[in-house]
Structure 1
Amino acid sequence: MTVSIGDKVRLISPMSYLKTADPMPMLRPSDLVGSDESGAVVALHPLEIAAVRFRRGTFLIPLDRLCPAGVEDEKQG
């Protein structure tokens, strides 16, 4: 999947933990991001990693774990 800064995305499936996008990253529990929550891409990192801002923080997430936010909305509607 290709993304650009500002794109709205959501997690495909829950992750076992979330890594913060802080200067000194920390591992956080996965329940900070809900399965129905969408976030905005704020930075792109090497190795297919995106920094995504969700309601409870900004986390580093592999691109293969993300999908565009509108995809799930269209399937449900």
Structure 2
Amino acid sequence: MAELTVGATVRLVSRPPYLKTADPMPMLRPPNLLELGTQGVAITRNPGGTWTVKFERGTYLLDSQYLELVDA
């Protein structure tokens, strides 16, 4: 798999136990807010292999294990 980069389009391939919002005061949200296969844009890379990803239904912090790069 190619390395994720900032600005890359990514797809949700599995759901985490919860979604953590990327707000100044993060909140935990239920994982069913995003369907499998939902595409978003990688905004920033965070320490520990997590990414800030902007989806149509919000911006969340996700581990890279839940994401795959979408071929251009």
Class of the TM-score when normalised by the shorter of the 2 chains: 0.7 to 0.9
- TM-score relative to the length of structure 1: 0.82
> 1 or 2, which has the higher helix percentage?
1
- Taking the aligned partners of 2:65 and 2:8, their CA distance within structure 1 comes to 15
- Taking the aligned partners of 1:31 and 1:25, their CA distance within structure 2 comes to 17
- TM-score relative to the length of structure 2: 0.87
Runs (5+) with no aligned partner, structure 2: none
Q: Does the alignment pair 1:27 with 2:28?
A: yes
Runs (5+) with no aligned partner, structure 1: 71-77
Residue identity in the other structure for 1:67:
E
- Taking the aligned partners of 2:32 and 2:66, their CA distance within structure 1 comes to 15
Where do 4+ consecutive residues of structure 1 move more than 6 Å?
none
Percent of residue pairs identical: 40
- The alignment partner of 2:61 has SS state of strand
Q: Number of residues paired by the alignment?
A: 70
- Taking the aligned partners of 1:36 and 1:47, their CA distance within structure 2 comes to 23
- Taking the aligned partners of 2:70 and 2:56, their CA distance within structure 1 comes to 14
